[in-house]
A and B are shown apart, each in its own frame.
Chain A
Amino acid sequence: MIGLAKKIPLLDFYIERLRAEPGYFGDWEVPMRYTSAIEEHVAVRSSVAFFDVSHMGRIALRGPDVVSFIQYIYTKDLSKVKEWSMSGPTLALTELARVKDDEMLYKISEEEWLLVPNALARERMLEYFRKVISEKGFRVEVSDLTEKYSMLAIQGPRSAELMESLGAKWAGDLKLLEFRLNEEIAGAKLYLVSRSGWTGEDGFEVWGDHGEVKKLVETLISRGVKAAGLIARDTLRIEMGFVLGGHEYGEDPVKFPCAVSLRYGMGAISWDKKGFVGEDALRACRREGARWIRVGLRMGKEAGRLFPREGSGVYVEDVYVGWITSSCYSPVLNRGVAMAYIDTRYAILGEEVEVDIRGKKYTAKIVDFPFIKK
């Protein structure tokens, strides 16, 4: 994959201007870190920082059947979404109720929507959409905008104040998950500005032509706004208990349990909705009861800042009861934290389990998400 990796459009600029350390994520070369992932993480939690997230997919759907198409693909009821508003995250399932991708949808009008698939799912989802459209005869036109626009996420408790200081006087009044089209901020012409993000903090996401986004980045740098890379983005999402494809979910029915076990929350599944892909299997999982459940594990004091690696086991009285799906050091808690699937019979909040770190057992506590108080 690495040989075929594409650079996000502004990567060389970040390396030159901000000494970004590049790295690979899926088939993209992206900024992994600028100064220190811990500092970047803390900047997002306590102030504001920006991420270039142009590796994320962006797809437009147009046509008279868009609503029936997305109602067929996703688990959430999308029939009552307001115009200029986002809905999600929601899930696209396989027939076996495994998760293809978790996505946000943006409604411009009844017949025009945008959606943001994960970087690793973009090609797969495009292919899947085209197949469903041709097989079922939906009148929907799919276009891939991913490489047309760069995308920034400006995240942190001071993000609204920052946006207003850049001339977007309306920013503070934009409600969570609302968006605006064709705005100009500090001389940069942007296609879309939404109040959203994936860090657990207040924030905005903007899409625009690469040159315009570069202009905005120059302004952010001149205002002293810190740049943050993908490592910090990962530790931020883990602290919030947000899932990531390939870690907490995937299409493989052997490797990943059914979507019920994911315990996604946030209204991602509308149980009163009928007729979506994977519904029968999903309801069967629900009827039979989940064997596995996704929980948070917070490492005990003896572990210092250590955390168990992805794929390693979780034990109770030496019985294997589950496995780790994501983990990191939490800069806010100053502890290791992890997400794990564990056997529901052992999934007792507040109880202790043991995890293996390089052959040594350490105690961790089963906790709910998010790991940090918000």
Chain B
Amino acid sequence: MKNWVNTMSFIEVKAKGKTYLVAKDRRYTETDEWALRESSGLIRMGITDYAQKELKDIVAVELPQVGRVVKKGEELGVIDSVKATSSYYAPVSGKVVSINRELEKSPELVNKDPYGAGWIVVIEPLDPREYESLLTPEQYAEKISKR
């Protein structure tokens, strides 16, 4: 039996006594980042609802330099919570073309709206096919439901 349900725009995953949302319009990494291909072809990324609920109490998001070239899986920056630090990674290879400067003032946006206003970085992808190799929402939902 699957312990998740489909709604219009999210898959709701129940695990560890909590509900985690997985947005259906984007792709995912094993390390709990989401990647959204925009109509321009650019990849917007952030961390998933699962990741923000695990971190909680986010107090700072360290942003990469615009223009930095990153490989898929490379550390883009770190997120500080009250007592701990964790890294977030590039979902695809490419160049950082935009960063969410709002997070410098309001890092809690990542907690409040991880799939929207809490986005972190926009990457211009080197190889558009890389996006297709990321986890589908169903695959990611299945993964977190088993953690």
Contact = CB atoms under 8 A, between A and B. Distances in A.
Does chain A bind chain B?
Answer: yes
B82 A328 contact: yes
Interface in B77-113: 78, 80-83, 85, 104, 107
A19 to B, nearest CB: 5
Nearest to A39: B57
A306 B80 contact: yes
Contacts of B78: 358
A15 interface: yes
Residue among B78, B81, B83 having the largest count of chain A Cβ atoms under 10 Å: B83
Interface string B48-86: 000000001101101000000000000000101111010
Contact of A304 (B56, B81, B104): B104
Contacts of A87: none
Given A19-B17, A19-B18, A38 B80 contact: no
A37 B56 contact: yes
A306 B142 CA distance: 35
Nearest to A15: B17
B80 A235 contact: no
B83 A234 contact: yes
B83 A305 contact: no
A329 interface: yes
A33 B60 contact: no
A120 interface: no
A156 B59 CA distance: 24
Contacts of B18: 19
Interface residues of B, number: 15
Contacts, number: 42
Interface string A12-24: 0001000100000
Contacts of B56: 33, 36-37
Contacts of B83: 37, 231, 234-235, 328-329
B59 A329 contact: yes
Contacts of A307: 80
B57 A36 contact: yes
Contacts of B57: 33, 36-38, 231
Interface in A3-47: 15, 19, 33, 36-38, 41
B62 A305 contact: no
A305 B107 contact: yes
B17 A38 contact: no
A80 B29 CA distance: 64
Contacts of B85: 309
B19 to A, nearest CB: 11
Nearest to A335: B59
Contacts of A37: 56-57, 81-83
Nearest to A307: B80
Contacts of A15: 17
Interface in B33-56: 56
Interface of A: 15, 19, 33, 36-38, 41, 231, 234-235, 304-307, 309, 328-329, 331, 358
28 contacts: A15-B17, A19-B18, A33-B57, A36-B57, A37-B57, A37-B81, A37-B82, A38-B82, A231-B57, A231-B82, A231-B83, A234-B83, A235-B83, A304-B60, A305-B59, A305-B60, A305-B80, A305-B107, A306-B59, A306-B60, A306-B80, A309-B85, A328-B83, A329-B60, A329-B83, A331-B82, A358-B62, A358-B78
Interface of B: 17-18, 56-57, 59-60, 62, 78, 80-83, 85, 104, 107
Which 6 A-B pairs have CB atoms at the shortest separation, nearest pair first? A305-B59, A329-B59, A37-B82, A305-B60, A37-B57, A38-B57
